[in-house]
Copies of this chain bind each other. A is one copy, B any other.
Amino acid sequence: MRISALAAEAGLPIATVKFYLREGLLHPGVATSATQATYDDSHLRRLRVIRALTGPVGLSVQQTRMILGLIDDPGDDLYATLGRAVGALPPTVDTRAASDDDPDPFPRARAALEALGQVYDPSFAAVAQLEAALEAVDAAGMPISDDRLLEYGRHLREMAVYDLERMPPEPNAAVEYTVLGTALYEPVLLALRRLAHQDVASRRDLGA
């Protein structure tokens, strides 16, 4: 299809599609003349991913280009690539390695992962993210008990097994699935959690 048809199909102005081409977010079409090119479903699919990352997820063009680069070239170590891709998603956190000055930079996250029997890798962005979240919880005087941690952790791990079992085997698709399944499914989960609370509460006598 021509660029006008691609833009119409994606529901975008042609200028926006041209901008993504210029910025290298969208791969070039196949040239059919000196001034025209033809585009296919791979371009439409990529436009959807670009729109998700720059829209609801809120990434800059530069951050989006970095993540698209990992989708296009996942390299040999898929595990490390998935970690880098997820680590590039919001929220922005202050990752730091253990050092002589600060041998245990994430004590709350470390303790929680040890209690859960899960891998602890301080270079992973979600460790710093968990530390910040647990700091806020402690500061508010609402610490998460071990019992609650194990209850939450058990359910989240079962959901993670479900997600990983459905990860496409092909590496490019696996990175895309992980990025979108993290960034776009998280808001769904939070809304569903609030609605689950509402549902459970509605079936109890809350002393009206």
Q: Which A positions have Cβ atoms within 8 angstroms of B?
A: 45, 48-49, 51-52, 55-56, 76-79, 82-83, 86, 91, 109, 112-113, 118-119, 121, 124, 126-127, 129-130, 132-134, 136-137, 139-142, 144, 148, 151-153, 155-164, 166, 171, 174, 177-178, 180-182, 184-202, 204, 206-208
Contact = CB atoms under 8 A, between A and B. Distances in A.
A100 to B, nearest CB: 26
Contacts of A161: 200
A77 B124 CA distance: 44
Contact of A198 (B124, B133, B189, B191): B124
Contact of A156 (B113, B196, B206): B196
A199 B118 contact: yes
Contacts of A207: 78, 171
Contacts of A48: 139-141
A192 B204 CA distance: 29
Given A124-B198, A136-B52, A187-B133, A159 B206 contact: no
Main secondary structure of the interface of A (DSSP, over half): helix
B86 A197 contact: yes
A159 B109 CA distance: 20
A131 B158 CA distance: 25
Contacts of A196: 118, 153, 156-157, 159-160
30 contacts: A48-B139, A49-B140, A51-B140, A52-B136, A52-B140, A76-B208, A78-B207, A82-B206, A83-B198, A119-B199, A119-B202, A124-B195, A129-B190, A129-B194, A130-B191, A140-B180, A142-B185, A148-B162, A148-B166, A151-B159, A152-B188, A153-B192, A156-B196, A159-B193, A159-B196, A160-B196, A160-B199, A163-B197, A182-B194, A189-B189
